[in-house]
Chain A
């Protein structure tokens, strides 16, 4: 017997599948029993089957090597034990996410219009206007449905107390959804029997939902939709190509597009110039339009901002939406929910300290060895200080950085992320994980069923980013009542 749940060492951890007494959590019984029944060779056969599926399906991600061509394609790291969430819990999380993203979109729209959030003293004006993601070029622009962040990926973590928190909201160009979809395809090949026995909610309508969301951004009846990618060297190129294909949209690079004197956006095709109505852009704001932002950008399209402001093309996500992605603004999200929706937040934030406020900064500087410090505008886990694991010198360096630029930092207590059993060599060990669901906002709002579960493959590590050695798992939302 390869997996012995009694011998599973998860003391002191909140595990998603196994209780501290070695029993399966509610809903996970069949899964745990099936896994425990597998012999050594059967388990390794399933693992090999997953690897083969990933290779033959061509599921890769790109890592920067910093030498020669600069990038290599790696096969997507995947663990065959899924992570489970009960439908009842998921429904609550899902409405919490809708609430959150709705408030954030109202906030972004407010920032670029009336700015009541400042005059009503909910949040200091300078925090927003000094944000690296604030774009004065977006003031007064009216995107359809007043929605700015059409595709949001929020990172959820469960602490040791079993409670789910929102760790951050990725409102700009979040990635990972294609891996969520592919993980499910791989699992269906690896454990077909479990899909017959357990009611697992499907995830595969995401591309159709995304296409519907994008179509709702234009009055044109059958709009031309394009996915704008920085190109094959981008780490998420696989996803760009995947989504374009799944939506039957056109995958384009900046050089394929041109803006005419009529402010319309055209793509260069063998049929001549063809108008584009909606662009799902996977390029950061500052590279979108060399006429307005980074003049050296070769990834973007000159005149694209002009076209967008004139309402001749819809951009998803809208430029400037990153203003709500700022980690200092994040600390205000519960207030923003109360302010814009007059509701209590359904999902809690991780308790956070703003270094820009003196008393909170002093606390942070005194407790650097207990806290995680994050810069306001980085993603992918870069530029962080994990206090308890850092050296004295690293902490001193961060203290200097915080004093020099307090607006750029916030801090949170170090959470003990929940774990799930993960195959390490030939047995199961607990590994920490998080969850990234995706929320679509257009004429309607939609939340993925579950999301992308990312897992830190190194023992004790909480860094789940695939660029830094993280893996992933399929995420099952299981319905016990169905």
Chain B
């Protein structure tokens, strides 16, 4: 009987994480750009929240003097010193894909190479706004093509399960960070102004590509309580916390020795269902989300301890 090696399981998992991270980083930068052009110039909303969301404010402060559009986009897109930058993610995606030959479909290796070359072609500096938007949307498209191609062609075995676990850990983490940015002070100054009162929650939905779904499901004007309920608890929205947790749980059920990790996931799910998330405000919301991220980090650690054991090919940055 053939087994799933810890090494290839590790690489599948991180492939899932880095692909997801590349896509969400591309989406975040794009959405923020669009959002800013809608705002009056005198408003303080800028690029710093993106640095905060992607978890690198200390590193950013070390490397750059101010959070200008140029600096932040460089930090998030090109800067290889930032392990969460788009280029870093693509590098790691490529490295993991290369070492998974024979496990993932050959064509997807070529797609990943194409993705990497395209990023270098479109997103190398100096980078104009037009070029940036073009490049980022192409990246998004290509990542989605790889995702779809693998889903349709890869054997849905344990390696696939690990890849999806990587996707959903990364996704849950990113969603919780984007929600957290929604309650940031940066936005609060803006929200007192008409017609921008709900701008922060509109931008949160936009950043998660969830506006249309929100309108379909909630059928109410955009407001904080409903957005929080929707993004955290809705079980049909693919980027909600609940959906990610359910996917993690379902994936883990296919794997051996999952008991301990499932207990951690169930604890997270209970935290969501037993909290009136819509009523959370400012500090308590932030605390709730921080706690969620901490527990998610424990899930990640438990997966590593149970299945991977030894040093994988990557540098952990967040979670």
Interface check A268, CB cutoff 8 A? yes
Flag if A270 contacts B256 (CB, 8 Å): yes
Neighbouring A residues of B4 by C-beta, 8 Å = 269-271
Interface check B219, CB cutoff 8 A? no
> CB within 8 Å of B: which of A255-279?
255-256, 267-272, 274
- Tell me, in angstroms, the Cα distance from A272 to B9 when the chains sit together: 12
Contact pick for A271, options B98, B106, B256, CB 8 Å: B256
Contact pick for B98, options A232, A251, A269, A274, CB 8 Å: A232
Chain B's closest residue to A69 (CB) is B98
Chain B's closest residue to A222 (CB) is B1
Flag if A268 contacts B106 (CB, 8 Å): no
Flag if A268 contacts B98 (CB, 8 Å): no
Flag if B256 contacts A256 (CB, 8 Å): no
Shortest B242–chain A CB gap in Å is 26
Flag if B5 contacts A271 (CB, 8 Å): no
Flag if A251 contacts B310 (CB, 8 Å): no
Interface check A253, CB cutoff 8 A? yes
Interface check A241, CB cutoff 8 A? yes
- Tell me, in angstroms, the Cα distance from A326 to B202 when the chains sit together: 74
Contact pick for A250, options B2, B6, B306, CB 8 Å: B2
Q: Apart from A250-B3, A270-B257, what are 18 other A-B pairs with CB-CB below 8 Å?
A: A232-B99, A237-B101, A248-B2, A249-B2, A250-B5, A253-B7, A255-B7, A256-B5, A268-B7, A268-B309, A268-B310, A269-B3, A270-B3, A270-B6, A270-B256, A270-B306, A271-B3, A271-B256
Neighbouring A residues of B307 by C-beta, 8 Å = 270
Neighbouring B residues of A248 by C-beta, 8 Å = 2
Neighbouring A residues of B257 by C-beta, 8 Å = 270-272
Flag if A270 contacts B255 (CB, 8 Å): yes
- Tell me, in angstroms, the Cα distance from A250 to B5 when the chains sit together: 9
Neighbouring B residues of A270 by C-beta, 8 Å = 3-6, 9, 158, 255-257, 306-307
Say whether, besides A58-B106, A255-B310, A269 and B99 are in contact (CB < 8 Å): no
- Tell me, in angstroms, the Cα distance from A250 to B306 when the chains sit together: 21
Neighbouring B residues of A251 by C-beta, 8 Å = 102
Contact pick for A252, options B5, B98, B256, B309, CB 8 Å: B5
Shortest B302–chain A CB gap in Å is 13
Neighbouring B residues of A95 by C-beta, 8 Å = none
Q: Please encode chain B, from 229 to 271, with 1 for each CB lying within 8 Å of some chain A CB and 0 for all others.
A: 0000000000000000000000000011100000000000000
Neighbouring A residues of B101 by C-beta, 8 Å = 232, 237, 241
Neighbouring A residues of B3 by C-beta, 8 Å = 250, 267, 269-271, 274
- Tell me, in angstroms, the Cα distance from A272 to B2 when the chains sit together: 13
The 3 closest A-B pairs by CB, nearest first: A269-B3, A268-B6, A241-B102
Interface check A379, CB cutoff 8 A? no
Chain A's closest residue to B3 (CB) is A269
Neighbouring B residues of A231 by C-beta, 8 Å = 99
> CB within 8 Å of A: which of B86-141?
98-99, 101-102, 106
12 contacts between A and B (CB under 8 A): A232-B101, A244-B102, A248-B2, A249-B2, A251-B102, A253-B7, A255-B310, A267-B5, A268-B6, A269-B4, A269-B5, A270-B9
Q: Please encode chain B, from 54 to 74, with 1 for each CB lying within 8 Å of some chain A CB and 0 for all others.
A: 000000000000000000000
**Range of interface residues on A (Cβ < 8 Å):** 20 to 34
Contact pick for A269, options B6, B102, B106, CB 8 Å: B6
> CB within 8 Å of B: which of A180-232?
231-232
Neighbouring B residues of A252 by C-beta, 8 Å = 5
Interface check A245, CB cutoff 8 A? yes
- Tell me, in angstroms, the Cα distance from A182 to B15 when the chains sit together: 30
> CB within 8 Å of A: which of B1-36?
2-7, 9
Chain B's closest residue to A251 (CB) is B102
Neighbouring B residues of A249 by C-beta, 8 Å = 2
- Tell me, in angstroms, the Cα distance from A255 to B10 when the chains sit together: 13
Contact pick for B102, options A245, A271, A272, CB 8 Å: A245
Q: Residue among A232, A255, A270 with the most chain B CB within 10 A?
A: A270
Neighbouring A residues of B309 by C-beta, 8 Å = 268
Neighbouring A residues of B6 by C-beta, 8 Å = 256, 268-270
- Tell me, in angstroms, the Cα distance from A372 to B15 when the chains sit together: 50
Shortest B49–chain A CB gap in Å is 37
- Tell me, in angstroms, the Cα distance from A250 to B2 when the chains sit together: 6
- Tell me, in angstroms, the Cα distance from A249 to B306 when the chains sit together: 24
- Tell me, in angstroms, the Cα distance from A244 to B3 when the chains sit together: 13
- Tell me, in angstroms, the Cα distance from A267 to B306 when the chains sit together: 15
Shortest B79–chain A CB gap in Å is 21
Shortest A274–chain B CB gap in Å is 6
Neighbouring A residues of B7 by C-beta, 8 Å = 253, 255-256, 268
Shortest B185–chain A CB gap in Å is 44
Flag if A268 contacts B5 (CB, 8 Å): yes
Neighbouring B residues of A267 by C-beta, 8 Å = 3, 5
- Tell me, in angstroms, the Cα distance from A251 to B98 when the chains sit together: 15
Shortest B239–chain A CB gap in Å is 27
Q: Please encode chain A, from 8 to 45, with 1 for each CB lying within 8 Å of some chain B CB and 0 for all others.
A: 00000000000000000000000000000000000000
Shortest A476–chain B CB gap in Å is 29
Chain A's closest residue to B255 (CB) is A270
Chain B's closest residue to A269 (CB) is B3
Neighbouring B residues of A255 by C-beta, 8 Å = 7, 310
- Tell me, in angstroms, the Cα distance from A88 to B307 when the chains sit together: 55
> CB within 8 Å of A: which of B267-319?
306-307, 309-310
Chain B's closest residue to A237 (CB) is B101
Neighbouring A residues of B255 by C-beta, 8 Å = 270
Neighbouring A residues of B102 by C-beta, 8 Å = 241, 244-245, 251
- Tell me, in angstroms, the Cα distance from A271 to B102 when the chains sit together: 21
- Tell me, in angstroms, the Cα distance from A231 to B7 when the chains sit together: 12
- Tell me, in angstroms, the Cα distance from A148 to B136 when the chains sit together: 57
Q: Residue among A232, A237, A268 with the most chain B CB within 10 A?
A: A268
Shortest A255–chain B CB gap in Å is 6
Shortest B159–chain A CB gap in Å is 10
Q: Please encode chain A, from 332 to 363, with 1 for each CB lying within 8 Å of some chain B CB and 0 for all others.
A: 00000000000000000000000000000000
- Tell me, in angstroms, the Cα distance from A252 to B6 when the chains sit together: 10
Chain A's closest residue to B7 (CB) is A256
- Tell me, in angstroms, the Cα distance from A269 to B106 when the chains sit together: 23
- Tell me, in angstroms, the Cα distance from A323 to B189 when the chains sit together: 80
- Tell me, in angstroms, the Cα distance from A193 to B101 when the chains sit together: 34
Neighbouring B residues of A237 by C-beta, 8 Å = 101
Neighbouring A residues of B256 by C-beta, 8 Å = 270-271
- Tell me, in angstroms, the Cα distance from A251 to B103 when the chains sit together: 11
- Tell me, in angstroms, the Cα distance from A241 to B109 when the chains sit together: 16
- Tell me, in angstroms, the Cα distance from A248 to B309 when the chains sit together: 25
- Tell me, in angstroms, the Cα distance from A256 to B102 when the chains sit together: 16
- Tell me, in angstroms, the Cα distance from A253 to B5 when the chains sit together: 10
Shortest A54–chain B CB gap in Å is 13
- Tell me, in angstroms, the Cα distance from A274 to B5 when the chains sit together: 10
Neighbouring A residues of B306 by C-beta, 8 Å = 270
Chain A's closest residue to B162 (CB) is A270
> CB within 8 Å of B: which of A411-447?
none
- Tell me, in angstroms, the Cα distance from A273 to B2 when the chains sit together: 13
Shortest B246–chain A CB gap in Å is 21
Neighbouring A residues of B158 by C-beta, 8 Å = 270
- Tell me, in angstroms, the Cα distance from A22 to B102 when the chains sit together: 46
Q: Residue among B5, B6, B9 with the most chain A CB within 10 A?
A: B5
